[in-house]
């Protein structure tokens, strides 16, 4: 097991965490629908349906960042430390989510439930959009430089230096907006599908969500196709045989061609997402759409991470200095660190099995107005 093996292995784990995070954003998608309904009963059904899962999304985001910090620390210091305005805005929206679920219906709430509903809405829209922007930078780059020699400068021992705007420029890049909006409407689509699967006892509520599936699904497909077109025509950065980094036209398109299995998984994922959306709309009582779109989105996101980091590709391009672009080879931890963490990672299947069991127990009975009234921990 060489250093290269562990670098490849940990990028695979990062890919899995990122893909699972995108699936779990159905919680945020459900939150973005809260303000669109005027019925207090329907709003309560929505909040208590997704309220059972919000910790999973939050925890996965934290683990995703922690895994990046441990396995690819140079990325962590470059992105989280440099583009901190982008990441701080993401953090604030998620903190607002955690506070809202805990205090929305607490006795003595001075702000009222409407205030916390707005915080949930902002996390569901702005939070998802900014996460899409952050991931989009894996392909369209950021304005940073990396100088390893700076660590020896006692006056300014900063390895990575960012543009003066520190992440704001990424938020206003139109290419990043495409993926950001695609993530928002994918989350909304999956949020609606989860309501159809998890909330019972109200036919009108089900039919309203069934109509919303097609609207949000179509908007998502439009932005996703635009992102794929940008991705396939984008310039990427490739590692040369002598260790240099050079720009290559249509790099990500050729990555899909070179890694044909990656393209096959991508297409299977796209078909699964489309099937879940269309059958949920056209079939009168189909409730399994969330599992089709969820599995499909996981497969698609996995391939996006793979074409970003594998096949001698720089997964974090620098728009200022191509030589500063980050790869899984020049940004990873040491051999010893990766090896020790790999042993710990063998516990992941057991953790996932526990999560699946708890999920099954929580969703064994659908959420209804009666179950909310009987629940002493209703949100």
Question: pLDDT (tens digit, 9 = 90+) per residue, 131-168?
Answer: 999 999 999 988 888 776 656 566 656 677 787 777 78
- Least trusted range by pLDDT, from 105-114, 183-192, 203-212, 283-292: 105-114
Rounded to whole angstroms, the Cα distance separating 204 from 34 reads: 16
What's the whole-number average pLDDT of the chain? Answer: 87
Q: What is the pLDDT of residue 312?
A: 93
H-helix segments, 123-249: 128-140, 168-171, 174-198, 203-233
Angle at alpha carbon of residue 363, lines to 360 and 365, rounded to 5°: 120
Rounded to whole angstroms, the Cα distance separating 62 from 15 reads: 14
Residue 90 Cα to chain centre, angstroms: 11
pLDDT digits (tens, 9 = 90+) for 48-64: 888 888 888 888 888 88
At 78, list the tokens: 């470059």
* Residue 94 and residue 58 in contact, taking contact as beta carbons nearer than 8 Å: yes
Q: What is the pLDDT of residue 324?
A: 87
Rounded to whole angstroms, the Cα distance separating 42 from 306 reads: 40
| Mean pLDDT, rounded, for 27-44 | 85
Q: What is the pLDDT of residue 149?
A: 63
| Mean pLDDT, rounded, for 91-111 | 83
| Mean pLDDT, rounded, for 96-111 | 80
Q: What is the pLDDT of residue 164?
A: 78
* Cross-strand partners of 160: 146
Its pTM stands at 0.91
Rounded to whole angstroms, the Cα distance separating 229 from 288 reads: 30
Three-class DSSP category at 202: coil
User: Beta 160-162 vs 144-146: how paired, if at all?
Assistant: antiparallel
Is a pLDDT exceeding 70 seen at residue 9? yes
At 312, list the tokens: 């001698």
CA quadruple 253, 259, 264, 270: dihedral positive or negative? negative
pLDDT digits (tens, 9 = 90+) for 295-327: 999 999 999 999 999 999 999 999 888 888 999
Most confident of 68-82, 123-137, 158-172: 123-137
In the 8-state DSSP scheme, what is residue 286? Answer: -
83 phi and psi angles, rounded to 5 deg? -90, 50
Is a pLDDT exceeding 70 seen at residue 127? yes
Q: What is the pLDDT of residue 154?
A: 65
| Mean pLDDT, rounded, for 112-130 | 91
* Residue 252 and residue 307 in contact, taking contact as beta carbons nearer than 8 Å: yes
| Mean pLDDT, rounded, for 42-50 | 84
């Amino acid at each position: 097991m060489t250093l290269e093996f562990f670098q490849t292995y940990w990028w695979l784990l990062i890919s899995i965490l990122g893909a699972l995070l995108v699936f779990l954003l159905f919680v945020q998608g459900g939150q973005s629908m809260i303000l669109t309904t005027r019925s207090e009963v329907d709003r309560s059904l929505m909040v208590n349906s997704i309220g059972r899962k919000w910790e999973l999304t939050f925890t996965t985001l934290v683990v995703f960042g922690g895994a990046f910090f441990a396995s690819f620390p140079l990325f962590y210091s470059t992105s989280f430390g440099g583009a901190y305005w982008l990441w701080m805005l993401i953090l604030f929206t998620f903190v607002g989510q955690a506070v809202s679920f805990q205090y929305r219906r607490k006795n003595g709430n001075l702000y009222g439930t409407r205030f916390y509903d707005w915080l949930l809405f902002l996390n569901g829209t702005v939070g998802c959009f900014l996460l899409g922007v952050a991931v989009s930078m894996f392909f369209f780059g950021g304005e940073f430089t990396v100088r390893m020699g700076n660590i020896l400068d006692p006056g300014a021992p900063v390895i990575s230096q960012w543009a003066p705007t520190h992440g704001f420029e990424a938020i206003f890049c139109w290419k990043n907006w495409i993926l950001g909006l695609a993530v928002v409407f994918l989350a909304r689509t999956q949020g609606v599908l989860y309501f159809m699967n998890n909330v019972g006892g109200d036919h009108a509520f089900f039919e309203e969500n069934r109509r919303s599936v097609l609207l949000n699904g179509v908007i998502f497909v439009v932005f996703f196709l635009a992102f794929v077109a940008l991705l396939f025509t984008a310039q990427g950065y490739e590692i040369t045989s002598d260790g240099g980094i050079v720009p290559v036209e249509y790099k990500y398109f050729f990555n899909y061609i070179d890694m044909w299995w990656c393209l096959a998984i991508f297409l299977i994922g796209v078909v699964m997402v489309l099937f879940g959306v269309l059958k949920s709309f056209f079939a009168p009582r189909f409730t399994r759409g969330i599992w089709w779109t969820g599995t499909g989105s996981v497969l698609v996101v996995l391939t996006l991470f793979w074409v970003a980091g594998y096949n001698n590709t720089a997964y974090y391009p620098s728009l200022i200095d191509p030589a500063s672009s980050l790869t899984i080879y020049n940004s990873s931890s040491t051999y010893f660190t990766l090896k020790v963490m790999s042993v710990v990672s063998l516990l992941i299947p057991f953790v996932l099995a526990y999560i699946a069991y708890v999920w099954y127990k929580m969703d064994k009975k659908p959420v209804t107005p009666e179950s909310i009234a009987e629940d002493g921990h209703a949100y």
